[in-house]
């Protein structure tokens, strides 16, 4: 059976790309990466892809007069790889509605918060400023609005009393590396589908119990 083909878009170090590379290295995993595209040259993520033998392309947005012409070229490069799914993995460009509409329910993104809370940038600083007890990350299907769309998988982590933005980001990132391959697996296996702008996951099992922060034993 043919494996599900991915195109992964990056702008930097590609740590979430690496999590997908590692998952795809398992012959039992139902997906493979057909192409990695970066809008910035010479980033670490490109080296990760080349080391894994994955075709890469660089398309600098600075070489285009407007967002639409950049996206036309980006779309053409992606379509040459004939992917089943396009994965945004630290791709630091806001995509227009026109681009998003070309990939209906075939374009996913990762965001370092428990959406719909804390959309946008400086997520971890804002979580700490708000005094939130939990942070986390979300994989979702992309919609034209920023950090919006049906949620596929989320992971939650507790905020610690001594956290700064860096320590919280590291804890969230570790979970990002788990849930991106999981989300791709669910889609590739046909277990995750969008119905009425919600994702239905077949045979989904919720985690047992509840998370409480601070833990009850710590309040006395």
The answer to whether 7 touches 49, Cβ cutoff 8 Å, is no
Ordered by start, the domain boundaries in the chain are: 1-103, 109-204
Q: What is the pLDDT of residue 106?
A: 98
- CATH number 3.40.50.170 is the correct assignment for the domain at 1-103: yes
- In this model, does residue 102 exceed pLDDT 60? yes
From the list 183, 206, 218, 208, the residue with the least C-alpha distance to 31 is 183
Mean pLDDT for the chain? 96
Residue 220 is predicted with a pLDDT of 45
Per-residue model confidence as pLDDT tens digits over 68-96 = 999 999 999 999 999 999 999 999 999 99
pLDDT, tens digit, for every residue of 175-196? 999 999 999 999 999 999 999 9
Task: Please state, in angstroms and rounded to a whole number, the distance separating the CA atoms of residues 107 and 103.
Answer: 6
| Given 111, 124, 140, 177, the catalytic residue | 111
Report the relative pairing of strands 56-58 and 198-201 from DSSP bridges. unpaired
- Mean local confidence (pLDDT), 162-170: 98
What pTM did the predictor assign? 0.95
Count other Cβ atoms within 10 Å, centred on residue 19. Answer: 21
State residue 216's pLDDT score: 87
Q: How confident is the model at residue 218 (pLDDT cuts 50, 70, 90)?
A: low
What is the average per-residue pLDDT within 30-44?
98
Catalytic: 177? no
Contact 108, 140 (CB under 8 A): yes
* pLDDT tens, residue by residue, 107-154: 999 999 999 999 999 999 999 999 999 999 999 999 999 999 999 999
Q: Measure the N-to-C terminal CA separation of the chain; round to a whole number of Å.
A: 57
The answer on pLDDT for 2 being more than 90 is no
Return the CATH architecture of domain 109-204. Answer: 3-Layer(aba) Sandwich (3.40)
Of 143, 131, 88, 85, the closest CA to residue 112 belongs to 88
């Amino acid at each position: 059976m043919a494996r599900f083909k991915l195109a992964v878009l990056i702008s930097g170090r590609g740590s979430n790309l690496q999590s997908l590379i590692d998952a795809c290295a398992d012959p039992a995993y139902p997906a493979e990466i057909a192409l990695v595209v970066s809008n910035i040259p010479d980033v670490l993520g490109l080296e990760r892809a080349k080391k894994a033998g994955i075709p890469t392309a660089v398309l600098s947005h600075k070489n285009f007069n407007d967002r639409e012409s950049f996206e036309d070229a980006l779309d053409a490069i992606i379509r040459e790889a004939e992917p089943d799914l396009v994965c945004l993995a630290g791709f630091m460009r806001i995509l227009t509605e026109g681009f998003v509409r070309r990939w209906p329910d075939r374009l996913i993104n990762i965001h370092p918060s428990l959406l719909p809370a804390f959309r946008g940038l400086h997520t971890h600083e804002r979580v700490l400023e708000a005094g939130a007890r939990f942070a986390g990350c979300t994989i979702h299907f992309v919609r034209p609005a920023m950090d919006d769309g049906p949620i596929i998988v989320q992971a939650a982590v507790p905020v610690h009393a001594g956290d700064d933005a860096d320590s919280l980001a590291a804890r969230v990132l570790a979970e990002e590396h788990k849930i991106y391959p999981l989300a791709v697996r669910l889609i590739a296996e046909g277990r995750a589908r969008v119905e009425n702008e919600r994702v239905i996951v077949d045979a989904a099992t919720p985690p047992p119990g509840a998370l409480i922060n601070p833990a009850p034993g710590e309040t006395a």
